[in-house]
Each structure stands twice: as C-alpha cells, then as structure tokens.
Structure 1
Amino acid sequence: MRRRRDALASVVAERGISQILVYGFDRSGSAIGWLTGWPVTREAALLFAPGERDLMFVCFNNHVPNARRLAPEADVRPGDGSALDAALDAIASRAGGTGQAARPATLGVIGPVPARAGARLAAIADEIVFLDRDYVRLRLVKSAEEIGWLRTGAAMSDDAVAALSAAARPSMTESQCCASLESAYIGAGGLTHIHYLGVTSMARPDLCVPAQWPSARRLSAGDALSCEVSASYQGYPGQLLRTFTIAAPPAPLYQDLHDVAEAAFDAVTARLRPGATAHDLAIAGAEVILGAGYTIYDDLVHGYGGGYLPPVISRAGLEARQAADFTFAAGMTVVIQPNVITPDERAGVQTGELVVVTETGWESLHSYPRGLARIGD
C-alpha cells in the first residue's frame, strides 16, 4: 500500500494537484480497492492528499463496519445514501481551511464520476483534472506481490474450469454448469469476477461467443460448450478461456476453428516480449485468423489485472491490421484470446489465458491444459 500511495503522490506532485477525489461505483473503478483494500460494493468515494489520512465515504451505512476492517488506514464514514454527495459535501465544507481542508485550487478526479456531479465539482475547485490515464499507467506493470495474487486467481480459475469439465454432461442446465464452476473456488476464498458460458449445437450452431447470463438451456450430446472464466483473489482475477465438445467428437468446422485459434495464440505469443508493440501482435493474429477466412468478436488481446487495461486489440484493429501505439514491458499482464468465429457469426470457439510479460518473452499464469477436449460421456 505504501508503494501505491507513493506512486499516486508522485502523480499529484507532477500535476500540481492538492488532492484527489477517487470514485468507485458497483464494479466500475478499481482505484479505491487498490489504495485502501476496500472492494467497492455499491458506491464509495475517497479523498486522497499526500501526507493526510484518507477520508472515505461508503454508500450503504451497514457496509461501514466491514469497510473499516478492510481499510484500517482510512477514516471511513457512512455516505448516507450517496458516497459521492458526501465526499463533495466534505470538500465544500472544508473550503477556506488549511492542509487537506483547504479549497483545492486543482482537484484531481479518478473513476467514473457521473456527469451530474460536474456543476458541483466546478463550484468547489478552481480546476478539475481527470487522472484516469495517469492511474491506468500506474497499473500497467505489476509488482511481485500483484503477480502472486494473479497467480492465485489464475489457479482458482483453472480449478473452476476443471470442475466444469468434470461435471458437465447431457441434461445439465447452463445455470448448473455455473454452479459447478463456483464450487471450485468459493470455499478457498475466491470470488466470482465473471463466468460466461456459450452452448450451441455443433450441427446447427447459432452462437459464436459465450453469453454473459446463463439460460435454462440443457446440454445435449453434440453440443459445443465454450467458457470465459475469471475467479478473483483479493481483487486479482485470472482469465481462462476454453472450448469443449459434449459427448461427441468435434464437428469438422469446430476442429478447424480451434486449430486456427491455437495457431493464432502461438503466433501472437511468439511476438510477445519487452519492446514488442500492439501492432506487432495485431499483424501476427491477422495473418493467421483472417488468412484462414475467419474473424473474431472478442478483443484479440487486452491488458488485465486492475481493470480492462491497454493495449486493447479489437476486431476492428485486427481486420485493419492496425493497433494503437503501445509498447510492452516486463511485468505487464495481458489476456491473449484468439476467439475465432465464422464470418456469419453462427459458430465460434474460445481459447486463451492470462499471461505475464517476462524479461525474455512471456509466461502463462495458468496451468490448465490447452486443446479442444471432449467431456460429458
């Protein structure tokens, strides 16, 4: 925590800012958890100033006792229905004082502060500076302890997919499949970040990517089941993407899709090392995927661990064979996910995982085996 606070204090000094309003809402905005240890439930707002104790407001009053335990270094107070309004009231009421209590000439803002707060922000500070890009820059290269937590989240995600592959069989519903996933890590202290499932007939496919919400559809022999799973430990999730066939060998189309996806994964990771660019990876993926007559829906590559981070190589970037200017460095963590689909968007596969950039290349944080596996017999 000291390293993180020092890093943010350096941003404050560089930008000439007296204090920062940090905001988190539901699952949007990770900075409060990064600074305090409190994983935002509904809403939280924090006032940060170098050399001062943080003042944090939590939306629901009954969440305050737990927040005080998990964020012992902060002065945690109830938000009485709106943590943001309470924080803005605190800034306004302190105007004219000294130290942290003084009206900020320049107020930094991190997080998804809603537009409705704009007028109040303008009234309580001379200048508002949005620091989300600065914050993202601080999150790109992970510390050794962060890599350790990501490994744990990755191991929990591996266990979840292993549990799914052992449990899935014809007649199970998608919701029951999700229950098998969660059973693998909840007891070990993990939490669900996401688990997306996609089930469709290989003979008559009508789904190319997993669904965010499970349905009552039951598995049948001859189905393809694809998944994207992120179990989280202390706010640090893994991400594992795999495809299975249910009680049947893969249909030729699905075998070909998966072969192309595996080749694309190898082509992209062959380019991944310090000094490589996002453009390098986009070209590598495009040569394999587009060259085979397929495309993608998901992003080919995205940063991960502390949010959905740069670089993001989208479908548009792949098809244009172009990506934003970005250079990789050791310690960055990214998800490589060449989730290949047919151009008519009726069939697709998921394969990929979270990796860390090393001094000489890359290392997967997962241990679950690659490949298109048959399950459910």
Structure 2
Amino acid sequence: MPGPLNLDARLAAIHAAEYPRFSDAEMARRRSALARVMEEAEVDHLLMCGEQRAGTGVAWLTSWPATVEAYAIVAPREPQVMYVEWYNHWPLARRLARDTEVRWGEHRGIDKAIADLKARGAKRVGLMGALGLSKCRKLEAVFGALVDLNREYVRLRLVKSREEIDWMRIAAALTDLAIEGLRRDARPGMTEHELGAICEAAYHPYGGVTYIHFFLATPMANPEYCVPRQFASSRKVRPGDVIATEITAQFFDYPGQILRTFTVAAEPTPLFRKLHDTAEAAFDAVTRVIRHGARMQEIIDAARVIEDAGFTVYDDLMHGFGGGYFPPVLGSRSRPAGPLPEMTLEAGMTCVVQPNVITPDQKAGVQVGELVLVTETGFERLHRVERGLFRIE
C-alpha cells in the first residue's frame, strides 16, 4: 500500500479539488506578462501552440494541458479563443480552460486559427510553443514572418509565483512517495520495469502523473554504466548491485524531482562509498552558495569538490525546472554544459541540483539531489525524503 501524502492544510485543500484551479489573480498575472512581451516584440497577436503533448505554454495560459493539438489566440483586449483536437477532448477542454472560448479544430485547427486571426485584422503574429513546419509556412503565407517568442516564454517561466510553488510542493510530495515505495517494496530479483511499477503505484492513487523514472542498475564489483537510463530494461537487480534513480511525478503540469542511490543486499564497496560521499558533498557545496544574486561561476567553483576527489560528472550538475528544462543548465569544471549562462539566480526560481558523480572511465557512478527553491538568502528544500545511501534487502 502507498504511504500517506503529507501535506499541510492549505496544500491539502488544493490537492483535494476535483480539478484544482489557480486564482483569478494568478491567471491575470500571466496574461499581463504576455501582453508586456507582445508589446516589447511589437506583435499584435500571439499564437500559443501545443502539439502531441509537447510544450507547457497552453496549460500555463489556459489551464488546458495540450493533448493532440491546441492553438490559443491571444491579443490584449480581445476574447481569448483556443482550437483543440480531438472531438472527444473538447468537453473537458471547455471545462478546464480559463477565460477562453474553446472550439473544436475539426482536424484543420491551424486553418481555423488563421481564419480567426485574419478576421481580427492580425498583422504581426508572434509564436510560442511547438508547431510543425508546414503549419508555420501556412501562417507565414498570410501574415509574413512569424516572430519567435519562445525565448521570452522561457524567461516568463523562470521565476515561479507563490501559487505555482504550492503546486510544485504537492508534486514534490508525490515524487517522495516513489522513493519511499522503493525503500519499502523493492527486492532483489525484480526487473527495472517492476521498479517503475513500484514508483507509479506509490503516487498514482494520489493523482500523481508519471513524468520520468530513470534507473541505473549495475554490479558494484564490475560496474559498466554510470548514469540513470531513460528507458527501463528487463534486467533483474541482483545482490551487490547499485541502483541510482531519477524520478519525477507531476501534479498536473507541475513537477517534483528527486535523485537517490541504493545498494542491493550489500554494503557499498569502497569506490561506491566514495562516489556517494562526494556526490553528497557536492550537493551541500552547491546549495551552500545558492541564493538570490548568485553567479554561475560561484556554483561551478563550489562543485570542484567532485574533481578534487578524482571524479567527474555525466549528467548536468544543475538545471532550472518547472514548466520546462530551463536555465541555468550547468555542468562542472571537468564536464561543462556549454558556455556559462550570463545570468544570476533569482528568488523564486526552482532548480534541480543533481550531482551524478562518476569515475573518469565512465564505468561507475551514483546520483543524488532534488528540486530546490531559490530564496533571497539561500535555498529551501521542497522534498521531505531523507538524504542518504539506501539499502534494498
């Protein structure tokens, strides 16, 4: 049986709603932010797009998580309209979408959106979200070059509102249940698929939605892989294995993320003890410098404990999260993630700190960490699961 979902009264009330809703003030804040972006870009109309469950903008704007297709037309002081597919998705879209007239796309949603934009007298059209090339060409044949505003969308999502953070706290609690489930129910002889089933069974009863559950399982005595894999295998975990995890459950469109490492029916070997101790030290060193105004180089410098121990990283050391995989995306001194972003941390950002400490030959590794909230003076944990190197019996 899954464990209890530990939420305070305010968060429990949000979680208990049949379909939770953000406040009118929060939705108005988002529309106002979009209006400012449109004014700066000198676009008179914006098309917010989602296709094949790709992109988060439609849900952020309307509260409808785009399924197959969703095209929302945005313009200050004009009614907001959205075209959706498929017909059987239309009733729920009408129920969930906020301050938006929802219309069926009739399997020609982009054509209907173009006709709507023409009727509104659109001249310069901005685009946010995923849209296929042929559909972009249809739009540009009528309105000229589209203005790509996806970078501006990312900027809008970096700092979370208090209400968004509340939803992420709920998602973190749901994600915690997966780790607790693995500690309670995982056994030698299970396949990686069965480990995933434990995770999902832990949070699904409480409305958690699977985003990812990645596993690394390899023998400590003869390791052959160093980072959690994106697809589970039929490999059975065996005594003497190490298992590293990366798990995200979502509360609607808002995620948690937690990374923990387990040994299977054995104490960690000296190498894996050192890897794990180094990863925990790196997490502590990085979070020690996280605060409003922190520079990217401070974070890289803090993580040098990894190289000082003779190790490196494979996965990114840190990234923004919540609405997308956002800046700052950072590696380490020995494995950069590209040029350092020209930015500083801001209070209200949510980031995953996730040291994936590995040997230089890339044969052995562990991963630890979790989603944290940047504050004015430091950071706040959003997860409650204890830290440490766990053991499965």
The TM-score normalised by the length of structure 2 is: 0.89
- Residue 337 (structure 1) aligned with residue 354 (structure 2): yes
Aligned position for 1:279: 297
Q: 1:321 offset after TM fit, Å? A: 9.7
Aligned position for 1:306: 323
- The 8 Å contact of residues 243 and 350 in structure 1, kept in 2 or not, is answered as yes
- The 8 Å contact of residues 69 and 84 in structure 2, kept in 1 or not, is answered as yes
Q: 1:374 to 1:130 in 2, by over 3 A?
A: same
Q: What is the CA–CA distance in structure 2 between the aligned matches of 1:10 and 1:319, rounded to whole Å? A: 34
- The 8 Å contact of residues 214 and 247 in structure 2, kept in 1 or not, is answered as yes
Alignment size in residue pairs: 367
- The 8 Å contact of residues 279 and 325 in structure 1, kept in 2 or not, is answered as no
- The 8 Å contact of residues 317 and 323 in structure 1, kept in 2 or not, is answered as no
Matches within 5 A, 1:211-230: 211-230=229-248
What secondary structure is seen at the aligned counterpart in 2 of 1:185? helix
- The 8 Å contact of residues 282 and 318 in structure 1, kept in 2 or not, is answered as no
State the Cα deviation string for residues 318-367 of structure 1 (Å, max 9, x = none): 44896221101111110001111112211110101000011111111011
Aligned position for 2:31: 5
Q: 1:75 offset after TM fit, Å? A: 1.8
Aligned position for 2:147: 129
Match 1:86 to one of 109, 116, 124: 109
Aligned position for 1:165: 183
Unaligned runs of 5+ in 1: none
- Residue 141 (structure 1) aligned with residue 159 (structure 2): yes
Matches within 5 A, 1:64-79: 64-79=90-105
Aligned position for 2:287: 269
Q: What is the CA–CA distance in structure 2 between the aligned matches of 1:197 and 1:135, rounded to whole Å? A: 31
Q: 1:244 offset after TM fit, Å? A: 0.3
Deviates more, 1:162-171 or 1:18-27: 18-27
- The 8 Å contact of residues 327 and 341 in structure 2, kept in 1 or not, is answered as no
Matches within 5 A, 1:238-257: 238-257=256-275
Aligned position for 2:382: 365
Letter aligned with residue 34 of structure 2: L
Identity of aligned pairs, percent? Answer: 49
- The 8 Å contact of residues 105 and 127 in structure 1, kept in 2 or not, is answered as no
Q: 1:43 offset after TM fit, Å? A: 2.6
- The 8 Å contact of residues 279 and 322 in structure 1, kept in 2 or not, is answered as no
- Residue 34 (structure 1) aligned with residue 60 (structure 2): yes
State the Cα deviation string for residues 133-185 of structure 1 (Å, max 9, x = none): 11111111111111111111001111111001111111111111111111111
Aligned position for 2:138: 120
State the Cα deviation string for residues 238-265 of structure 1 (Å, max 9, x = none): 0000000011101111111111111111
Aligned position for 1:152: 170
Q: 1:93 offset after TM fit, Å? A: 5.7
Q: What is the CA–CA distance in structure 2 between the aligned matches of 1:38 and 1:320, rounded to whole Å? A: 33
Moved over 3 A (4+): 314-322
- The 8 Å contact of residues 239 and 266 in structure 2, kept in 1 or not, is answered as yes
Q: 1:25 offset after TM fit, Å? A: 2.2
Q: 1:290 offset after TM fit, Å? A: 1.8
Q: What is the CA–CA distance in structure 1 between the aligned matches of 2:223 and 2:39, rounded to whole Å? A: 56
Letter aligned with residue 15 of structure 1: A
The TM-score normalised by the length of structure 1 is: 0.93
- The 8 Å contact of residues 298 and 315 in structure 1, kept in 2 or not, is answered as no
Aligned position for 2:11: none
Deviates more, 1:267-276 or 1:44-53: 44-53
CA RMSD of aligned residues (A): 1.8
- The 8 Å contact of residues 276 and 366 in structure 2, kept in 1 or not, is answered as yes
Q: What is the CA–CA distance in structure 2 between the aligned matches of 1:111 and 1:11, rounded to whole Å? A: 15
Q: 1:93 to 1:78 in 2, by over 3 A?
A: closer
Q: What is the CA–CA distance in structure 2 between the aligned matches of 1:161 and 1:226, rounded to whole Å? A: 11
Letter aligned with residue 344 of structure 1: D
Matches within 5 A, 1:49-68: 49-68=75-94
- The 8 Å contact of residues 149 and 233 in structure 1, kept in 2 or not, is answered as yes
State the Cα deviation string for residues 80-113 of structure 1 (Å, max 9, x = none): 34xxx52344324652x4xxx11x2210000122
Q: What is the CA–CA distance in structure 2 between the aligned matches of 1:321 and 1:24, rounded to whole Å? A: 28
Q: 1:284 to 1:90 in 2, by over 3 A?
A: same
- Residue 190 (structure 1) aligned with residue 208 (structure 2): yes
Q: 1:64 to 1:139 in 2, by over 3 A?
A: same
Letter aligned with residue 125 of structure 2: L
- The 8 Å contact of residues 282 and 323 in structure 1, kept in 2 or not, is answered as no
Q: What is the CA–CA distance in structure 1 between the aligned matches of 2:297 and 2:114, rounded to whole Å? A: 44
What secondary structure is seen at the aligned counterpart in 1 of 2:292? coil
- The 8 Å contact of residues 46 and 87 in structure 1, kept in 2 or not, is answered as no
Deviates more, 1:60-69 or 1:349-358: 60-69
- The 8 Å contact of residues 265 and 352 in structure 1, kept in 2 or not, is answered as yes
Q: What is the CA–CA distance in structure 1 between the aligned matches of 2:36 and 2:240, rounded to whole Å? A: 57
Q: 1:341 to 1:42 in 2, by over 3 A?
A: farther
Letter aligned with residue 267 of structure 1: A
- Residue 210 (structure 1) aligned with residue 228 (structure 2): yes
Q: 1:337 to 1:312 in 2, by over 3 A?
A: same
- The 8 Å contact of residues 273 and 360 in structure 1, kept in 2 or not, is answered as yes
Letter aligned with residue 122 of structure 1: E
